[in-house]
């Protein structure tokens, strides 16, 4: 049965971290909210599942699962992405990836490695939130144009202080991984490597000036990006129409006035 991924249509967003894993593994999945509107498809189905007004039975109907599916009826996601696997519903990007990774063989099998991978993924998620806050430092409910002055200040700090702090850390994690050269966790590629690719790709789109010296400053991360981008199924996905282009509705937004080389 195909996995069903729920995420806003028209942007990569946090859903892209999940897509990277599904695509690399060649897993079959359906983008529910990108489908034409119908009984269990489209934006309507997604918003029904997030509705705090809907009953368990209504939510089960929206997702086409039996009302007897207890976990599903009890689970109410706050925000996309979320994933349906049969009658199981999982929310939160890092949690979805932690669920999928053993099934897609994208994480070592031992428990310590799986929790270590999740810790790194949560650190990536922290940085994703900061990348978003660089253009929306005051409130997500306000337009960028209403917080441009603050965004300029915040983006400057993000480029000068936060990108180097996070990326020096991830570079060091790569150096310390004696199990697998070029991988963040274990001996083989994991979902954390795929997410790192997506994070750096997004930052490079948003801050081409700020990321100008990235490969020189962080050679192991630069090599990781090059290697991940060559993985056959992922390369095919990145070149396909399924890969939504970066845009200014997303987390990683390119506003030239926020971008400059690091000090
Ligand atoms: N921590 C959550 C964040 C989810 C999230 O913020 N989703 C965004 C789209 S990328 C959203 O729709 N947020 C709605 C809101 O926060 O009101 C995750 O990593 O999945």
Q: pLDDT, tens digit, for every residue of 206-234?
A: 999 999 999 999 999 999 999 999 999 99
pLDDT of residue 36: 96
Return the ligand 1 atom nearest residue 81 CA: 20
Angle between the 219-229 and 191-206 helix axes, to the nearest 10 degrees? 100
Return the ligand 1 atom nearest residue 7 CA: 9
Residue 132 in contact with ligand 1 by CB distance below 6 A: no
Return the ligand 1 atom nearest residue 92 CA: 20
pLDDT of residue 185: 98
> What's the Cα-to-Cα distance from 143 to each of 53, 146, 148, 252, rounded to whole Å?
28, 5, 9, 15
pLDDT of residue 73: 79
Contact 193, 120 (CB under 8 A): no
pLDDT digits (tens, 9 = 90+) for 61-94: 899 998 888 888 788 999 999 999 999 999 999 9
Please tell me the distance from the alpha carbon of residue 263 to that of residue 260, in angstroms, as a whole number.
Answer: 9
Candidate of 6, 9, 79 to mutate for ligand 1, largest count of ligand atoms within 8 Å of Cβ: 79
Is the pLDDT at 41 greater than 90? The verdict is yes
For the entire predicted model, the pTM comes to 0.97
pLDDT digits (tens, 9 = 90+) for 7-29: 999 999 999 999 999 999 999 99
How close is the Cα of 50 to the center of ligand 1, in Å?
A: 12
Averaged over 38-46, what is the pLDDT? 94
Query: Using CA positions, which residue lies closest to atom 9 of ligand 1?
Result: 80
Residue 12 in contact with ligand 1 by CB distance below 6 A: no
Helix residue ranges per DSSP H, 70-190: 70-74, 93-104, 111-135, 148-157, 163-176
> Strand (E) positions, the chain?
3-6, 29-31, 82-85, 88-91
Query: Using CA positions, which residue lies closest to atom 19 of ligand 1?
Result: 93
Residue 14 in contact with ligand 1 by CB distance below 6 A: yes
Is the pLDDT at 159 greater than 90? The verdict is yes
pLDDT of residue 260: 98
Is the pLDDT at 57 greater than 90? The verdict is no
% of the chain beyond a pLDDT of 90: 92
Token code pair at residue 87: 């009658």
Residue 92 in contact with ligand 1 by CB distance below 6 A: yes
Residue 79 in contact with ligand 1 by CB distance below 6 A: yes
Please tell me the distance from the alpha carbon of residue 255 to that of residue 263, in angstroms, as a whole number.
Answer: 19
pLDDT of residue 68: 87
Distance of CA 58 to the CA centre of its chain: 29
pLDDT digits (tens, 9 = 90+) for 183-207: 999 999 999 999 999 999 999 999 9
Candidate of 19, 80, 120 to mutate for ligand 1, largest count of ligand atoms within 8 Å of Cβ: 80
Please tell me the distance from the alpha carbon of residue 137 to that of residue 129, in angstroms, as a whole number.
Answer: 10
Query: Using CA positions, which residue lies closest to atom 5 of ligand 1?
Result: 79
Query: Using CA positions, which residue lies closest to atom 14 of ligand 1?
Result: 79
Query: Using CA positions, which residue lies closest to atom 2 of ligand 1?
Result: 92
How close is the Cα of 72 to the center of ligand 1, in Å?
A: 20
pLDDT of residue 67: 87
Average pLDDT, the chain: 96
How close is the Cα of 109 to the center of ligand 1, in Å?
A: 29
> What's the Cα-to-Cα distance from 222 to each of 85, 155, 179, 211, rounded to whole Å?
34, 22, 19, 11
Q: Which run of H or of E encompasses 254? A: none
- Using DSSP's 3-state secondary structure scheme, residue 238 falls into helix
> What's the Cα-to-Cα distance from 147 to each of 87, 135, 141, 154, 202, rounded to whole Å?
42, 8, 11, 10, 21
């Amino acid at each position: 049965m195909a996995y069903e991924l729920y995420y806003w249509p028209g942007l990569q967003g946090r859903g892209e971290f999940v897509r990277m894993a599904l695509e690399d593994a060649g897993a079959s999945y359906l983008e529910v909210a990108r489908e034409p509107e119908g009984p269990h498809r489209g934006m309507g189905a997604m918003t029904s599942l997030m509705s705090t007004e809907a009953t368990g039975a209504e939510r089960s109907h929206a997702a086409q699962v039996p009302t007897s599916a207890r976990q599903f009826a009890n689970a109410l996601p706050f925000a996309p992405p979320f994933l349906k696997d049969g009658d199981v519903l999982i929310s939160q990007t890092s949690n979805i990836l932690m669920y999928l990774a053993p099934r897609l063989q994208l994480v070592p099998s031992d428990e310590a490695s799986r929790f270590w991978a999740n810790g790194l993924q949560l650190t990536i998620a922290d940085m994703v939130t900061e990348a978003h806050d660089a253009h929306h430092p005051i409130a997500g409910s306000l337009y960028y144009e209403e917080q441009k002055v603050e965004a300029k200040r915040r983006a400057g700090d993000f480029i000068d202080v936060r990108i180097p702090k996070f990326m020096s850390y991830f570079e060091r994690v790569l150096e310390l991984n004696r199990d697998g050269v070029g991988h963040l966790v274990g001996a083989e590629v994991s979902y954390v490597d795929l997410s790192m690719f997506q994070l750096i790709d997004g930052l490079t789109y948003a801050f081409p000036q700020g990321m100008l010296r990235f490969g020189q400053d962080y050679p192991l991360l630069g090599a990781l990006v090059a290697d991940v981008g060559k993985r056959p199924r992922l390369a095919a996905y990145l070149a396909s129409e399924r890969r939504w282009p970066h845009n200014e509705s997303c987390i990683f937004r390119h506003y030239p006035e926020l971008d400059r080389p690091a000090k």
